[in-house]
Chain A
Amino acid sequence: MAPDPAVRARLVEAAYACVARYGMGKTTVEDIGREAGVSRATAYRYFPGGREELLDAAVTHGVAQFFLRLYEQIHDAPSLEQVMERGILFAHRAIVEHEVLRRIMETDPELLLPQLTVEGHQVRASIAAFLLPYLRAHGVAPGVDELEAADFLARMTMSYMTSPGRWDLDDPAQVSELVRTELLAGIVVGPEPSGSDPARP
């Protein structure tokens, strides 16, 4: 029997749902099969790597969903500032409200931490690749390397996402200030900084 893409998709979504419910450590192939309405044997036929391959697929699915929704938020942004502001506001809300992420953070933080930190290079590369076209479209300051700028923005964005520190990322005014100062000041061609000193009494 030829593999059915719909069954595969159902299994991935079932794996994702199980992780949300039981956490990563406790999700079994049986759980996923039951959730998807297929037998354990069928689950293994589609995912010969079993549990690990299913969980990997679930994570990839979650990340893809995230970037898809992110793209919907920012694809029509008129400026690089808007791309960053909308992106950070959305991503912060998405992370805070993300049921599966929250569940994993509660039950298996040790599984998630490396994803965001030492193994974060994949996430970082995805964010950088996502931002690069916007940097190209909007232009960067003379002497700034687009790839380096994209990498720097991706690193900083991940830092604010994992630890907001002193920033309230629910506040659009603060996010706007963050983008203007710590993210884009060296990257975009801004208005010439005034050499004069207007405010001195």
Chain B
Amino acid sequence: MWLQPMVNLFKMDFRRFISNKMMYVLLMVFSAFQIFGIFMINQYEEPTEHGGLLTSAMNESQFIQSMLAQTPSWVMIYIAVFTVYFYMSEYNSGFYKNYITLSRARINSVLSKILIQGVFTLFIFVVFILSDLIGRTIFFEQATIGDIGYFVKLLIGQIVLHWSFSIMILCITIIMRNIIASIVISIALVLNVFGMVLGVLESLITDLNLTSYLLVNTITNRTIDFNNLGDFIHVFSVAIIVMLVFSLIALNYKIREDLR
């Protein structure tokens, strides 16, 4: 069966993924900082001048949206670090040479890494929500979820957006083949440097607001209403286009790459 070699490589990558201490360290540090962040919000929270909702009074959906809207987004930073680490640890060790003679190994290896990124994104969101719930329970003395339907849509939308972000980082890492360069570009993306520059240029030329369709702008846009069909389509179309474009670039590059 043509799918079996890809499944085999995924099993291999998944075993490395779950037996990798780095992954657990990243998730634990992320969780600790998330809870610490909630503590800091609790310490220094002040009512906004415009009568906005206090962070401590937000439900989980509102809280997630407000957290993800902050630049730089810690979730994206952790995803970027893990993506670069996971790919480069295999590349630098030369382990790929052990399976590269397998049928369609180059293609399957990229597809397997993409799936692993999806699993990591899922894991980090689970840790994100659990840490939020723990932190909010301890420091805000409330951990309401709010509308469950909206919460689920928000989660699915953000997980898919972050997964597509990780694929973009994977593609950059495959092309750069260098940890430092990949991390620097990732941080610039997380800081939305490119989005801001393009936004300024766009505002000089037109008022179409096409940059709102950029991936990082979509992730950090707190005004997106996941109950609104238009917003929902916006989120999924951005995520799917980014996934497809960067997956195809990564695959195409890998197929042609001269391996050292």
Q: Do A and B bind each other?
A: no
Interface residues of B (CB under 8 A from A): none
